[in-house]
Chains A and B, each alone.
Chain A
């Protein structure tokens, strides 16, 4: 122990909570960054994009392959011809608003009954028009004929000569935006921002959930608990994961920007958010951090109660459901800015970052964001404190668990 003798005694008596949290965060950050798990974490978006691309292309193939439902015309031969002519004429002007129309084979048979044709699923008819141009009869399932009634009437009127048959050409002037298109565009930006926020927090949740299992399994938790406050352990672990996620975002951002440059005009573009792109991106990063810290502190607390990896896996499902719930709540509230539902989404800490990001896309002004960020930071502090206290009480078996009962007992004895 000769060298040991020369070591100076520490002068200050303890680390501050932030210094202690930094020690934990540094260890965790490095350990995660150089682990195999981080590599898979980086690949997370690739899996998501691959699955989305595959399911998207499958969906479009299925819809391409599916037969387009048609309206069958089963009037007299002459009127059927006029109906089809009128349809062709109107379809040129109305485009996809008119469903295709075709003549029904065998409609001139004396015992022709459109209900039988539809029930026996002959052809690809969504509905069948019988009767005359003056009084067409539309036969089909309830939902279908409600939708087609007006269209059939329009075509029949045109066929009967009661509707215009010539149309003036309309010259078109393109403007960059209008109130309606700007609003709908900003909703798209808000949706995209929320979705990105959700995917990022989703990726991190599983890792946060299992964050304290290693320490508990290795019994390192005793050393940590003896040296620094449990709040610092929780904070350190949260910020380590936040740091890891920022590294991930930097990597994904670089790859994404490279692809964007490569794709050029083919890349998707989003309408400008109400606060402008720089502020929106900055708020996106902050709200991501807040959203992650809020959900992360909750998940870390829940995960810290688990003793084994298996227990963590069991907890994953309800945690994912909770995340989805938060996301759906914020998404639902997004288009109703100022409504009580939207205010609730803004105030509830877990949905607040999502709701506020949607606001950033649709409403100008930054003051509300400063207030919201302060509120969310307060909620993070409360959650970390509560999680650490719960951990000390439930896992470390600390805290005066007999105190409350005892004082009640004493009070009742004193009263007696």
Chain B
């Protein structure tokens, strides 16, 4: 398996123009290489995830893509522009560390964020009120940010990220700090944005969000991107797992099992052979295995992540998301 590839199949067979195209991005901080040769391609209208444990280089990569910091090496293009600030009005950004002016009212905060992206102040205030009402935060319109709960303030900031109707939304760990209900709402919002044609790119260390939402992912570990491509292609790198239960404990049929087959109690577990399930079934029947049950489970993104980034990175991811849950 090639583990050192950056840009792979996604979006090679895609006719959509690229919203983001980064090649060989490198960033060093005081001698430490935080990001080391990242290649990412995100087509317009896609939901794209950057997956990796804490400290892997996700935020640094996003900050480079947004022009907050410049790469030491490599190139980046956002909607074909090398300087993201030139198209700032087309981009919405929710940073990992949330921040709003505490003395501002909720609708003013949204209007201010809109004004930074070119929405006239009065128009921004009107939109701010509307967005808050439409998203169940009507009661918070006139309240100061300091008077809101953390979750509500986070929602206000998210709405501020969207107030100018960007074509590209960049969310850094957007699910972090949200309860399950709000995580679900956010997932729906992201889907809805993509349906409207907005490109959404988000970083996360929780694989399930990426698996549920993303068309493409970049797996980042230790500042490198060992995989960037479609979620399907990542999952297809791992053969589907077969679980087999038979009446016969031994027999000629066992010769049909692949080399990685292992027995756990009444079940055999093994990878689905490349030849597919039909030849296997035929051999089991002819060998009189007495099939009681057979299930084929396609590999998940987590399995793909483990295979691509390694056990250590997967454990770090899990530890990060557990710590957050606690």
Chain A residues within CB distance 8 Å of chain B = 1-5, 7-10, 12-15, 19-20, 23, 26-27, 31, 214-215, 218-229, 392, 396-403, 406
Residues of B within 8 A of A397 (CB): 29, 69
Q: Which parts of B20-53 form the interface with A (CB within 8 Å)?
A: 28-30
B85–A8 CB distance below 8 A: no
A27–B68 CB distance below 8 A: no
Q: List 9 A-B contacts (CB under 8 A).
A: A3-B131, A3-B134, A9-B165, A10-B89, A10-B119, A13-B87, A219-B98, A220-B99, A400-B71
Minimum Cβ distance to chain A for residue B322 (Å): 24
Residues of A within 8 A of B164 (CB): 7, 10
Q: Which of A19, A219, A229, A402 contacts B28 (CB 8 A)?
A: A402
Q: Which parts of B98-136 form the interface with A (CB within 8 Å)?
A: 98-103, 112-113, 115-119, 121, 127, 130-131, 133-135
Which of A214, A215, A226 neighbours the largest number of chain B CB atoms within 10 Å of its CB? A226
User: How many angstroms from the CA of A381 to the CA of B324 in the assembled complex?
Assistant: 45
Residues of B within 8 A of A227 (CB): 88, 93, 113, 116-117
Q: Which of B95, B134, B189 contacts A226 (CB 8 A)?
A: B95
A10–B28 CB distance below 8 A: no
Residues of A within 8 A of B30 (CB): 401
User: How many angstroms from the CA of A399 to the CA of B85 in the assembled complex?
Assistant: 15
A222–B99 CB distance below 8 A: yes
B88–A403 CB distance below 8 A: no
B102–A12 CB distance below 8 A: no
A7–B165 CB distance below 8 A: yes
Chain B residues within CB distance 8 Å of chain A = 28-30, 63, 66-72, 81, 85-91, 93, 95, 97-103, 112-113, 115-119, 121, 127, 130-131, 133-135, 162-165, 167, 189, 192-193, 196
10 tightest A-B CB contacts, nearest first:
A219-B99, A398-B69, A227-B116, A222-B95, A219-B97, A10-B89, A220-B99, A218-B99, A13-B87, A226-B93
A15–B68 CB distance below 8 A: no
User: How many angstroms from the CA of A31 to the CA of B248 in the assembled complex?
Assistant: 80
B93–A399 CB distance below 8 A: no
Minimum Cβ distance to chain B for residue A230 (Å): 9
Minimum Cβ distance to chain A for residue B47 (Å): 15
Q: A397-B69, A398-B68, A403-B72 are in contact. Are A14 and B89 (CB under 8 A)?
A: yes
Q: Which of A27, A392, A399, A403 contacts B112 (CB 8 A)?
A: A27
User: How many angstroms from the CA of A13 to the CA of B90 in the assembled complex?
Assistant: 6
B91–A226 CB distance below 8 A: yes
Minimum Cβ distance to chain B for residue A100 (Å): 65
Residues of B within 8 A of A222 (CB): 68, 93, 95, 97, 99
Residues of B within 8 A of A2 (CB): 134
User: How many angstroms from the CA of A226 to the CA of B29 in the assembled complex?
Assistant: 19
User: How many angstroms from the CA of A20 to the CA of B86 in the assembled complex?
Assistant: 12
User: How many angstroms from the CA of A225 to the CA of B101 in the assembled complex?
Assistant: 15
Residues of A within 8 A of B86 (CB): 13-14
Residues of B within 8 A of A221 (CB): 99
Minimum Cβ distance to chain B for residue A165 (Å): 81
B87–A14 CB distance below 8 A: yes
Residues of B within 8 A of A14 (CB): 85-89, 118
A400–B70 CB distance below 8 A: yes
Q: A9-B165, A219-B99 are in contact. Are A400 and B118 (CB under 8 A)?
A: no
Q: A223-B95, A228-B88 are in contact. Are A9 and B134 (CB under 8 A)?
A: no
A402–B72 CB distance below 8 A: yes
Select from chain A the residue with minimum beta-carbon distance to B165: A7
Q: Which of B113, B165, B189, B196 contacts A10 (CB 8 A)?
A: B165
B103–A31 CB distance below 8 A: yes
Residues of A within 8 A of B89 (CB): 10, 12-15
User: How many angstroms from the CA of A2 to the CA of B102 in the assembled complex?
Assistant: 28
Which of B91, B118, B193, B196 neighbours the largest number of chain A CB atoms within 10 Å of its CB? B118
B165–A396 CB distance below 8 A: no
Minimum Cβ distance to chain A for residue B54 (Å): 17
B134–A7 CB distance below 8 A: no
A8–B189 CB distance below 8 A: no
B93–A223 CB distance below 8 A: yes
Minimum Cβ distance to chain B for residue A162 (Å): 83
Given contacts A226-B95, A406-B72, 12 further A-B contacts (CB under 8 A): A10-B119, A13-B86, A27-B112, A31-B103, A218-B99, A220-B99, A222-B97, A223-B93, A223-B99, A223-B113, A228-B85, A401-B72
Minimum Cβ distance to chain A for residue B119 (Å): 7
User: How many angstroms from the CA of A14 to the CA of B66 in the assembled complex?
Assistant: 13
A10–B118 CB distance below 8 A: yes
Q: Which of B69, B88, B102, B196 contacts A13 (CB 8 A)?
A: B88
Residues of A within 8 A of B72 (CB): 400-403, 406
User: How many angstroms from the CA of A220 to the CA of B104 in the assembled complex?
Assistant: 13
Residues of A within 8 A of B163 (CB): 7
Q: A218-B99, A218-B100 are in contact. Are A399 and B70 (CB under 8 A)?
A: yes
Minimum Cβ distance to chain B for residue A36 (Å): 11
